[in-house]
Chain A
Amino acid sequence: MTYKVEIRWHGRGGHGLVSTSNLLCEMVVRKGYYAQSIPIFGAERRGAPTQVFTRISDSPIRKRSEIKNPDIVIVTDPSLFNIIDPLHGLVDKGIVIVNANESTEISSENNFKIIKVNAVEISLESGLTVGGIPVVTIPLMGALLKILGIVDLKTVEEVIRERWRPEIAERNIKALKMASEVVEIG
């Protein structure tokens, strides 16, 4: 049985989508998977809608085109639903991980599984901010890692600690752990 997951990230310029997708690839590659992180570049500027694609597979990945039918969509800002359709092409029973609090309405007529992660709150509580702005992509990745279930916590921590100095690494790890607790697998 082959393992293939296609993930599409929707966010805004400055959210750190590219770095987070690359970080995810590092973690899964360390577990022996193949991965690919494709940023879509246009006239990027802070705050403008952006997209990144992540492919994960247990065999080498040849194609490099945009992901049209993702298995999982990640949305870093619920206000994006007002200006684009982040769920377009999402597969049947696809998963949506969105940065939102419980009261935020995310409506979908399809049978998608919508997982709300209050990434802002988690980041603030973990002290994970850059220039006072919460880093929302890390908690969202925490939820994603729980759903994927292919990277153990030890590897996650190892990759994070290689990338950041101890103080910052611990904040990232705390945010990832808090987010994964939000997600119920079922």
Chain B
Amino acid sequence: MSRTKLVLTGNYASAYAVLHSKVEIVPAYPITPQTTIVEKIDEFIETGMLDATMVRVESEHSAMAVAIGASAVGVRTYTATSSHGLLYMYENLWWAANARLPIVATFVTRTLGPPWNIWSDHQDFMTLRDSGWILFMVKDAQEAYDLTIQAFKIAENPDVRLPVGIAYDAFVISHTAEPVELLTQEEADKFLPSPRAIQPLLDVDKPYSIGNLPRADYHYILRKNLWENILDAKKAIREVGREYGELSGRDYSSLVEEYKCEDADTVFISMGAMAGEGMDAVDKLRDKGYKVGHLTIRTYRPFPDHEIKTIAENAKRLIVFSRALSNGKGGILYDDIASTLYREGQRIETYDIIAGLAGTEVSEEDFMKIYYDTRSGKLDTGKSIFIRRGEYV
């Protein structure tokens, strides 16, 4: 069997990754723009391509509850949701992380209402920031496929044992069709461990309950253990990414993707769909002789502190694009970057750009305009700067 290259949407790419990962149970509730992922998985199941159970639940809360039960008995479990569905699932998302269950989920980012909105921003995704989930955000359909397969290997690693989420922007990734190279089933089988290697949390032959009231002092240590394990997961993420690179030719051994950063005095930092525009802007600015680079944050939690520190050692200006806002504070990604720099004792020029809220498009021109305006001193380093389709608002 040779590899196939198909034209797939981001959502179909995720569904193919689930197929090739031989997921065993998919409890899911449909919500735009996630729907076509689970529809496609259902098609794989109905046509006999995937031997899995689709559990048609009555809500996202129940979807994650079923996922928790299934994963607790050691079954390879996947679900997907978006926006209000993610918030409806919220309580159980934390439960899954604290119970150390290796669930994999796709979060197709969609603006929270009201008013009603189906387009992308990252506000829904950012509510998971502190939850204990390992969080990736990808910038195209190929990465959605590749990282979903890797996610199972990372989640199920006994040293990690945490749920993993793969996020991407509504429509511009979820519904945009582009070429995606798929592994053969044999390659995927060889890459992933058997689901039977998952140590079950519950065993019907030896019944006991989990999650009961512990002493506070003991509970404190459980929390610290999770914190240590998610930081240590960087090692597993890099190792799995390197292995996947050897297999596929697409390397994921870094938590970030650097683009022309080596000699850059100014580096754009963004994540998700807008990263492509940022890199195109870098090429245009380089053509004009400006030393600019772009850093894509692919692994959001655990946060790539070391990579940020390294970038900041060489650059003198970081321009951070956040597609989600901490109301009453500032751009969420900006705050992550700023706190890393402060902890490392690095004092360089930083800009907090709020772009793409409510599904507004972020274009190459926006990146370029911001660059010129930071150079000319027009923008304030101390303030959140709102740009909407090329205009400051």
A 21-64 contacts with B by CB, 8 A = 21-22, 25-26, 29, 34-41, 61-64
Among B119, B171, B175, B277, which residue has its beta carbon within 8 angstroms of that of A63? B277
Q: Mark B263-280, 1 if CB is under 8 A from A, else 0.
A: 000000000010111011
Among A21, A25, A65, which residue has its beta carbon within 8 angstroms of that of B364? A65
The docked-state distance in angstroms from the alpha carbon of A154 to that of B367 is 43
Q: Are A35 and B179 in contact (CB under 8 A)?
A: yes
Residues of chain B within 8 A of A22, CB atoms compared: 7, 177
B 145-177 contacts with A by CB, 8 A = 171-173, 175-177
The docked-state distance in angstroms from the alpha carbon of A65 to that of B280 is 11
B 2-20 contacts with A by CB, 8 A = 5, 7
A 1-20 contacts with B by CB, 8 A = none
Q: Are B176 and A29 in contact (CB under 8 A)?
A: no
Q: Are A25 and B277 in contact (CB under 8 A)?
A: no
Residues of chain B within 8 A of A21, CB atoms compared: 177
The docked-state distance in angstroms from the alpha carbon of A21 to that of B277 is 22
Residues of chain B within 8 A of A64, CB atoms compared: 140, 172-173, 176, 273, 276-277
The docked-state distance in angstroms from the alpha carbon of A26 to that of B177 is 9
| Cβ of B307 under 8 Å from chain A | no
Q: Are B276 and A25 in contact (CB under 8 A)?
A: no
| Cβ of B299 under 8 Å from chain A | no
Q: Are B179 and A34 in contact (CB under 8 A)?
A: yes
Q: Looking across the interface, which residue of chain A has its beta carbon closest to that of B281?
A: A63
| Cβ of B73 under 8 Å from chain A | no
Residues of chain B within 8 A of A65, CB atoms compared: 172, 277, 361-364
Residues of chain B within 8 A of A29, CB atoms compared: 5, 7, 179
User: Considering residues B173, B178, B361, which has the most beta carbons from chain A within 10 angstroms of its beta carbon?
Assistant: B178
Q: Are A61 and B364 in contact (CB under 8 A)?
A: no
| Cβ of B128 under 8 Å from chain A | no
Size class of the A contact interface (CB-based, 8 Å)? 10 to 19
The docked-state distance in angstroms from the alpha carbon of A25 to that of B175 is 14
Residues of chain A within 8 A of B362, CB atoms compared: 65
Q: Are B5 and A39 in contact (CB under 8 A)?
A: no
Q: Looking across the interface, which residue of chain B has its beta carbon closest to that of A30?
A: B5
| Cβ of A66 under 8 Å from chain B | yes
Q: Are A36 and B177 in contact (CB under 8 A)?
A: yes
Residues of chain B within 8 A of A66, CB atoms compared: 361
Q: Are A25 and B280 in contact (CB under 8 A)?
A: no
| Cβ of B385 under 8 Å from chain A | no
User: Considering residues A25, A34, A35, A62, which has the most beta carbons from chain B within 10 angstroms of its beta carbon?
Assistant: A62
The docked-state distance in angstroms from the alpha carbon of A64 to that of B363 is 9
User: Considering residues B176, B177, B275, which has the most beta carbons from chain A within 10 angstroms of its beta carbon?
Assistant: B177
The docked-state distance in angstroms from the alpha carbon of A43 to that of B33 is 13
| Cβ of B202 under 8 Å from chain A | no
Among A37, A39, A40, A63, which residue has its beta carbon within 8 angstroms of that of B276? A63
The docked-state distance in angstroms from the alpha carbon of A184 to that of B140 is 37
Q: Are B176 and A26 in contact (CB under 8 A)?
A: no
Q: Are A37 and B277 in contact (CB under 8 A)?
A: no
Residues of chain B within 8 A of A38, CB atoms compared: 171-172, 175-176
| Cβ of B55 under 8 Å from chain A | no
The docked-state distance in angstroms from the alpha carbon of A37 to that of B362 is 18
Q: Are A39 and B7 in contact (CB under 8 A)?
A: no
The docked-state distance in angstroms from the alpha carbon of A113 to that of B364 is 29
Cβ distance A102 to chain B, nearest Cβ, rounded Å? 34
Cβ distance A41 to chain B, nearest Cβ, rounded Å? 5
| Cβ of B231 under 8 Å from chain A | no
The docked-state distance in angstroms from the alpha carbon of A21 to that of B9 is 12
The docked-state distance in angstroms from the alpha carbon of A21 to that of B173 is 16
The docked-state distance in angstroms from the alpha carbon of A92 to that of B251 is 41
Q: Are B7 and A25 in contact (CB under 8 A)?
A: yes
The docked-state distance in angstroms from the alpha carbon of A26 to that of B364 is 27
Residues of chain A within 8 A of B363, CB atoms compared: 63, 65
Q: Are A62 and B176 in contact (CB under 8 A)?
A: no
Cβ distance B369 to chain A, nearest Cβ, rounded Å? 14
B 288-304 contacts with A by CB, 8 A = none
Residues of chain B within 8 A of A40, CB atoms compared: 171
Q: Looking across the interface, which residue of chain B has its beta carbon closest to that of A36?
A: B178
| Cβ of B45 under 8 Å from chain A | no
Q: Mark B236-276, 1 if CB is under 8 A from A, else 0.
A: 00000000000000000000000000000000000001011
Q: Looking across the interface, which residue of chain B has its beta carbon closest to that of A39?
A: B175
The docked-state distance in angstroms from the alpha carbon of A21 to that of B176 is 10
Beyond A36-B178, A38-B172, A61-B276, 8 additional contacts (C-beta under 8 Å) are: A25-B7, A37-B177, A62-B275, A62-B276, A62-B279, A63-B364, A64-B176, A65-B363
| Shortest Cβ-Cβ A-B pairs, 10 listed | A62-B276, A37-B177, A64-B172, A26-B7, A22-B177, A29-B179, A25-B7, A65-B363, A38-B176, A36-B178
Q: Which residues of B contact A (CB under 8 A)?
A: 5, 7, 33, 118-119, 140, 171-173, 175-179, 273, 275-277, 279-280, 361-364
**Could you pull out 28 A-B pairs where Cβ atoms are within 8 angstroms?**
A25-B179, A29-B5, A29-B7, A34-B178, A35-B178, A36-B176, A36-B177, A37-B177, A37-B178, A38-B175, A40-B171, A41-B175, A61-B178, A61-B276, A62-B275, A62-B276, A62-B277, A62-B279, A62-B280, A63-B364, A64-B140, A64-B176, A64-B273, A64-B277, A65-B172, A65-B362, A65-B363, A65-B364
